[in-house]
Chain A
């Protein structure tokens, strides 16, 4: 009578037996009805298990879980924890504006920039001033980004205008030019902000179309549009449970970073670049014209934006 040896049966089924031992093992098992049946069952089970597809979380599930865990564990992103307070008065911007004014006062008359040329000359100066002052604004924004500013949107531009206005009152000879420069700066976005506006994510264009088509605004109850958004088949989850804690800060950062937008509201969440992405809609000065952006929920950095 042959002994029933589970180890031998498993090894034969798994193919882990030395090749030289296989013939004798098969002969032994063949002589035992129970062994033969078990070998067949082991092979059947292994075949079925090997055919089972691997399982994994979706990016959305992973993203949501990590966010929940970070919240539960009280993990504060390093970028936010290290944020110093923003300087209320941007020294860099002020220095640039002062240098500009000094140049105008000292060199300007020699160049006849404010001479009888009239409006055209003022425009030329304004254009020159815009370039210089815009650089100052960009520098101020860059500084804010590096220091992780939590200042409200547009603070850099507003402070710059305040700085320019202060100088205007003390430098009488350059009043016209300074005002023109400040006005032009307000109208045109900083060069650094423009460079961030790009789009590689086709989902954003689809979302933008849907937002416009459905007439969604900041006051819309998004829950009523869940079906429509689901029908888009995008890796995207509509924010129907209220904005997350990071939202307001990220919206302010979005307004700071994206050219030509005035205000924003959260639309939902999407996996992006292996991390979390907050999808926000930013309104522009043109009614009905929106920019859809994806922002990192940890750093609030604008990762992508519809054109």
Chain B
């Protein structure tokens, strides 16, 4: 068990005993990473802040159920990813509901649902083209630096599946970046 994992267990126990300082320490230790995952998954700052808050609310409300069999951070990040999946589903439904009857779905780019974030625009646009599952794998492993095993644990999938998603996700990302870097070939209407 790492020092961080052991400290998290201690902090959770203190939090459950009513120590509000433990709450602050847990937040300080994890909030940026949770926010990073959410921002890269959702690509919108406000949505990411909402998801981060919802994640911590869920985790703190269910803290008494934490069994310390897995690292607290793994549980926390799993809740974060699931919260992001939920938000993406809700956004997709809301977007579909808002479409007028004559709307052509081909006109909708995936990143229309959210405003741009501070990732480099080309990376952001390329990530936006990935399915949530591929995006989660790439974000967790390549952007958040989690091991394949940790990512697999928190995503609830075999390591091989995560590895495959990372490989294919990177490939799609690179192809998107290539497309984005090419100058547009639209005919001019002059």
**Chain B residues in 8 Å Cβ range of A55:** 32, 35-36, 39-40, 117-119
Contact pattern, B 14-51, Cβ under 8 Å of A = 1, otherwise 0: 00001111011001100110011001100000000100
In the assembled complex, the Cα of A75 lies from the Cα of B118 at a distance in Å of 33
In the assembled complex, the Cα of A9 lies from the Cα of B166 at a distance in Å of 12
- Nearest residue, chain A, Cβ from B52: A65
A6 within 8 A of B: yes
In the assembled complex, the Cα of A275 lies from the Cα of B27 at a distance in Å of 11
- Choose among B20, B32, B39 the residue with the greatest number of A CB atoms under 10 Å from its CB: B20
B167 touches A42 (CB 8 A): yes
Please give the distance in Å from A177's CB to the nearest CB on chain B.
48
A1 within 8 A of B: no
In the assembled complex, the Cα of A49 lies from the Cα of B40 at a distance in Å of 11
B178 touches A44 (CB 8 A): yes
A111 within 8 A of B: no
Please give the distance in Å from A9's CB to the nearest CB on chain B.
7
A45 touches B163 (CB 8 A): no
A49 touches B142 (CB 8 A): yes
B122 touches A56 (CB 8 A): no
Please give the distance in Å from A125's CB to the nearest CB on chain B.
48
Contact pattern, B 52-63, Cβ under 8 Å of A = 1, otherwise 0: 110011001100
B171 within 8 A of A: yes
How many B residues face the partner with a CB closer than 8 A? 43
A2 within 8 A of B: no
**Chain B residues in 8 Å Cβ range of A9:** 167
A6 touches B164 (CB 8 A): yes
A75 touches B20 (CB 8 A): yes
A52 touches B120 (CB 8 A): yes
Please give the distance in Å from A73's CB to the nearest CB on chain B.
5
**Chain B residues in 8 Å Cβ range of A78:** 18-21
B167 touches A73 (CB 8 A): no
In the assembled complex, the Cα of A214 lies from the Cα of B174 at a distance in Å of 53
In the assembled complex, the Cα of A66 lies from the Cα of B52 at a distance in Å of 11
A231 within 8 A of B: no
A48 touches B166 (CB 8 A): no
Please give the distance in Å from A300's CB to the nearest CB on chain B.
15
B161 within 8 A of A: no
In the assembled complex, the Cα of A42 lies from the Cα of B163 at a distance in Å of 13
Whether A69 contacts B56 in the complex (CB less than 8 A), given A53-B119, A61-B49, comes out as yes
In the assembled complex, the Cα of A56 lies from the Cα of B155 at a distance in Å of 22
A38 within 8 A of B: yes
In the assembled complex, the Cα of A106 lies from the Cα of B174 at a distance in Å of 93
Which residues between 96 and 155 of chain B lie within 8 Å of chain A, taking CB atoms? 117-120, 122-123, 126, 138, 142-143
A38 touches B61 (CB 8 A): no
**Chain A residues in 8 Å Cβ range of B170:** 41-42, 45-46, 49
**Chain B residues in 8 Å Cβ range of A61:** 49
Q: Tell me the B residues contacting A by CB distance below 8 Å.
A: 18-21, 23-24, 27-28, 31-32, 35-36, 39-40, 49, 52-53, 56-57, 60-61, 117-120, 122-123, 126, 138, 142-143, 163-164, 166-167, 169-171, 173-175, 177-178
Q: Tell me the A residues contacting B by CB distance below 8 Å.
A: 6-7, 9-10, 38, 40-42, 44-46, 48-49, 51-57, 61-62, 65-66, 68-70, 72-73, 75-78, 274-275, 298
A-B residue pairs in contact (CB < 8 Å), sample of 18: A6-B163, A38-B171, A44-B178, A45-B169, A45-B177, A46-B142, A49-B123, A49-B170, A53-B118, A53-B120, A55-B40, A61-B49, A62-B31, A65-B31, A65-B56, A66-B24, A69-B53, A298-B20
Given contacts A41-B174, A70-B20, list 13 more A-B pairs with CB under 8 A: A42-B171, A45-B169, A49-B138, A53-B118, A53-B120, A55-B39, A55-B119, A57-B49, A69-B27, A73-B23, A75-B20, A78-B20, A275-B24
